Structure 1
Amino acid sequence: MNHDDLNLWSGQKSGRLVADLADVSKRYGYKLILRNFSMRLVRGDRLALVGPNGVGKTTLLRILTGAETPDSGTVKLGTGLDMAVFDQNRSALDPELSLWESLTGSAEMRVSGRADQVMVRGQPRHVVGYLKEFLFSEAQARAPVKSLSGGERARLLLARLMAQPSNLLVLDEPTNDLDIETLDLLQELISDYDGTVIVVSHDRDFLDRVATVTVAMEGGGQAVIYAGGWSDYQAQRRENRAGERATDKPKPAKSAPKQAEKAPDGLTFTEAHRLKELPGVIARLEAEIAKLTELLSDPDLFTREPVKFRKATDALVERQAALAQAEEDWLTLEDKASAAP
């Protein structure tokens, strides 16, 4: 497999905010999965979800991607998210289809009028030639997916993901059944990927190589955020436990001097006002973008009303830029408020 010619196709950038969870709780019957969990995922993060089987990693993953709603708390997803999923069950693959059909039958990869071609990163490619890049022989191209080994199914799914644009890559136990070469390739692809990555895995070496932040699900609704990958998480966890065992006498808290020129949370009154109004601004821009996107989805609009098409296009670009700036402002002010003593 020639790694030099292969890469994940990062599509249009998402907004800086990918997901913001505030005081999220979730339970199934008597089992508490999350309790008052808050975190913010921003563009470019490589998030690892770790913990024992059955603790709720997949549930948190589904909440982060909007596939499941919490029982309480709020979830805000960012704008312009284009998600690609690499799941442990390879559920995107129909076992009855051939490898050929698995690629040409995909709406995103199909080339109109060319049954032997697939669209790969915006360019038409011959099906067999593309499959060969993933170590499949010409004879295997017509074989059913159900005849493949676990590692081969992973390579086929990876071939589909790499052909399509995305800015949010979701990996649920991606290293299961992978051979060494495919595992190395996957790690290289993630390292070079411009988008955001969420990964659920028990592979500690893999997590050390790809993760920049780790959420450890420890049962009983507790989920703790750590910087770095698996080894960083373990080191910080040991430090935290050592600190909990320390018997230092707590010092009385000192009252912070009042600052008349500051609003609560360390913001100026102008900044506090801006922070308060930004959610409404963001919601309005998102609604306007949705309407403009719906208008421009009419394939005959350009021919029928070219002036209207141009104005709508310009308005969409303007509002997308305004939304990105509003999200940037919101994140900056939220961070400043959170960091205040």
Structure 2
Amino acid sequence: RLGTNLEIATLDQKREAVDPQETLAQYLTDGRGENLVINGEQRHVVSYMKDFLFKPEQARTPVRELSGGERARLLLARVLARPANLLVLDEPTNDLDMETLELLQELVAGFAGTVILVSHDRDFLDRTVTSLIAPDGEGRWIEYAGGYSDMLAQRGGTRLDDRKARAKADNGEAPVTTRSEAAAPKGPAKKLSFKQKFALESLPKKIEAVTASISRLENNIADPAYYERDPASFQKTIAALDKERATLAALEEEWLELEMLREEMEG
């Protein structure tokens, strides 16, 4: 059965062809200006690119200059920019670097509609899906709740290959050595998300920049003649200083929370 208002976005394992001369902004907007409509809201292409960890200056970078991981992120950004309530991904983890893989996991988990994906990446399945459809070896496909490890547990801890091997042994055929249940993939380990790690690494530079700005502003108001010379400018400087101090406090608090979370997860 199909929904009456189904809007489908797809990403196949061959990936779509990209004009290497196009800039990232042109590719994401189809050359139609600088804005996109994402989830019913208009967004500037640079703002949307930041969601996929691109820097603002990369908006005018030709696609040919991207690394493999960056190109994969660009394709994901293009697919997810399309209005859709059904996302179909065919082997989405192929050729992804670790950073893009972690971002993909977050994007799939945060997608508002339904996601159907085909993947041989068992860890990725464990981290993203809520149900799994797998063959039983008899021409049937069975749906299991949870991910790959959950499917193994519901099958009694055996893979399809293991079950085939046991059937052959029961029929007097030569036994085949297979991976034991102990080798089955474990559930996902707790760790910072990619965006959290990115924030933790980038926050010190932001804190340094804001601290330098505060120092400059404090030096300005330290001039005893400043207020007499230009009272309006002095008041603006005071307001800017208060704003920067509030920003610094928020950044330091965010960094501390992430650092404590990292230490807790790493034990």
TM-score (normalizing by structure 2): 0.51
Tell me the CA shift for residue 101 of structure 1.
Answer: 1.0
More strand as a share of residues: 1
Which AA in structure 2 matches 1:213?
Answer: S
For the pair shown, the structure with the greater C-alpha radius of gyration is 2
Alignment of 1:238-257 (within 5 A): 238=158, 241=163
Establish whether residue 81 from structure 1 lines up as the match of residue 81 from structure 2: no
Match of 1:126 among 38, 41, 44: 44
Q: Where does residue 105 of structure 2 map in the other structure?
A: 187
Q: CA deviation at 1:174?
A: 1.2
Aligned to 1:104: 29
Q: Per-residue deviation at 1:146? A: 3.2
Question: How far off its partner does 1:226 sit?
Answer: 3.7
SS of match in other structure, 1:222: coil
Higher relative contact order (CA 8 A, sep 6+): 1
Q: Pick from 64, 67, 71 the counterpart of residue 146 of structure 1.
A: 64
| TM-align CA RMSD | 3.3
Does residue 168 in structure 1 map to residue 168 in structure 2? no
Is it true that 1:91 corresponds to 2:16 in the alignment?
yes
What residue identity is the alignment partner of 1:231? S
Cα 1:118–1:239 shift into 2, 3 Å:
closer
- Deviations for 1:97-134, whole angstroms, at most 9, x for unmatched residues? 2211111217xxx4xxxx23222332332223332332
Which amino acid in the other structure matches residue 133 of structure 2? V
Q: 1:125 to 1:204 in 2, by over 3 A?
A: same
Residue among 219, 225, 230 paired with 2:142 = 225
Q: 1:231 to 1:151 in 2, by over 3 A?
A: same
Q: CA deviation at 1:198?
A: 1.1
Match of 2:125 in 1: 207
| Structure 1: tracts of 5 or more residues without a match | 1-16, 18-76, 248-341
Question: Secondary structure at 2:94's aligned position in 1?
Answer: coil
Deviation at 1:170, TM superposition (A): 0.5
CA shift digits 1:34-77 (9 cap, x unpaired): xxxxxxxxxxxxxxxxxxxxxxxxxxxxxxxxxxxxxxxxxxx4
Given that residues 213 and 225 in structure 1 are in contact (C-alpha distance below 8 angstroms), is that contact kept between their aligned partners in structure 2?
A: no
Q: Which amino acid aligns with 1:185?
A: L
Under a length normalisation based on structure 1, what TM-score does the superposition of the two structures give? 0.41
Q: For residue 236 of structure 2, what is the aligned residue in structure 1?
A: none
Distance in 2 (alpha carbons) for counterparts of 1:146 and 1:157: 13
Aligned twin of 1:60: none
Cα deviation code 1:305-334 (max 9, x no counterpart): xxxxxxxxxxxxxxxxxxxxxxxxxxxxxx
Q: Which runs of structure 2 are paired with 1:1-341 in the superposition (5 Å)? A: 17=1, 77-91=2-16, 93-105=18-30, 110=32, 115-217=33-135, 222-227=139-144, 228-235=146-153, 236=155, 238=158, 241=163
Change in CA separation of 1:194 and 1:143 when aligned onto 2, cut-off 3 Å: closer
SS in 1 for 2:27: helix
The answer to whether the Cα contact below 8 Å between 2:105 and 2:124 also exists between their aligned partners in 1 is yes
Measure, in 1, the Cα distance between the counterparts of 2:30 and 2:131.
36
The total of aligned residue pairs comes to: 164
Separation (CA, whole Å) in 1 of partners of 2:140 and 2:119: 16
Residues 1:192 and 1:136: Cα distance change in structure 2 (over 3 Å): closer
Identity %: 55
Distance 1:132 1:211, change over 3 A: closer
Residues 91 and 119 in structure 2, CA contact (< 8 A), matched pair in contact too: yes
